[in-house]
Amino acid sequence: MKHCIIITTIHPKSEAISVFEAQPGWHVVTVGDKKSAAIPSSANLTFLSLAAQAKLDFRLARECPFNHYARKNIGYLYAIRSGAEVIFDTDDDNIPNSELILPTFACDHQALTVSKFVNIFTHFTREFVWPRGFPFDEIQNARRSPFRLAKTPAAKIGVWQGLSDGEPDVDALFRLVLNHNIRFSRKKAFFLPSGRFCPVNSQNSFWQRRAFPYLYLPATVSFRFTDILRGYVLQRLLWQDGLHVGVAPAAVGHLRNPHDLMKDFADEVPFLLHIKEIVAIIESVKLGVDPWANLFGIYEKLTAANFVGRDEMELLGLWQEAFMKIER
């Protein structure tokens, strides 16, 4: 289980899960919840039912809210305890375009831009589209001022964020107003320099072991916000560790499960109204050499500003407790 695919689902076994299960060299960990239908485990797939989760020696498995995407944290811990060196974070409605290839965690092309927020889609398409979690008031700025790439010495990549063809990971506003399928071009991968942010989601991202502590999905925010908030926190912490987020062409096609778009919109608006304030808080925290202290320092500030709930610090502590127990 050196290479693990982590999925959570409330649906019966999807075509995507079957395709992932057949990928050579990968093991699928599927995390169940109260609404989940049981999925048979196999040599290449482990289904973690709630009963199986309760038997794990993780207090987080008991305290993490049910019916929340953050239950995926249990899958990350299970994979890490099973010896994972690379985690592919995705969902049950993403199908690989071809064989899932393990990336090299290095990149020698950098995005050059004066903008703090980078619409990574603009490198791969001329369509008017932006990723979920991108600030609304930066959409037109990014359209007017596209970034370019420059060859550099190879940078170390902590997390690769890949795109998704078909129905890419966009916000409800895009789907309500524009809503068309997109196929991204297969242009060169690149990385973002320190100080430049893009939304990082849980649809198609590869994580190397040094980034594993930052996999934690906050549980006191909405389903539509948890991976986006994690992604903004992640980038600041990676820079502190000498790592970067890399951006790769689409390697999966997204056949999106049915969504209530107005509910998605209601879940997204509160954090999108404040995304710049949230990022400013993340940037304001003085970081040191201890990755865990850095992670806790950022969440303490976010808690004080009421962007996460009061229970978040306790849950984050249980994440650290489980992680440290594994590492020993």
Contact indicator for 34, 67 with CB cutoff of 8 Å:
yes
CA distance 49 to 51: 5
Q: Report how far apart the first and last C-alpha atoms of the chain are (Å, whole number).
A: 19
What would the DSSP string read from start to end of 290-303?
Answer: -HHHHHHHHHHHHH
In which region does residue 30 sit, left (phi positive, over 0), alpha (psi from -120 to 50) or beta (all else)?
beta
pLDDT per residue of the chain (328 residues) written in tens, 0 to 9: 899 999 999 889 999 999 999 999 999 999 999 989 899 999 999 999 999 999 999 999 999 999 999 999 999 999 999 999 999 999 998 999 888 889 999 999 999 999 999 999 999 999 999 999 999 999 999 988 889 999 999 999 999 999 999 989 999 999 999 988 999 999 999 999 999 999 999 999 999 999 999 999 999 999 999 999 999 999 999 999 999 999 999 989 877 667 789 999 999 998 999 999 999 999 999 999 999 999 999 999 999 999 999 999 999 999 999 999 998 7
pTM, two decimals, is 0.96
Split into its structural domains, the chain has a count of: 1
Asked if residue 224 lies in contact with residue 264, where contact means CB atoms within 8 angstroms, the answer is yes
CATH number of the domain within which 306 lies: 3.90.550
Range of the domain at 38: 3-327
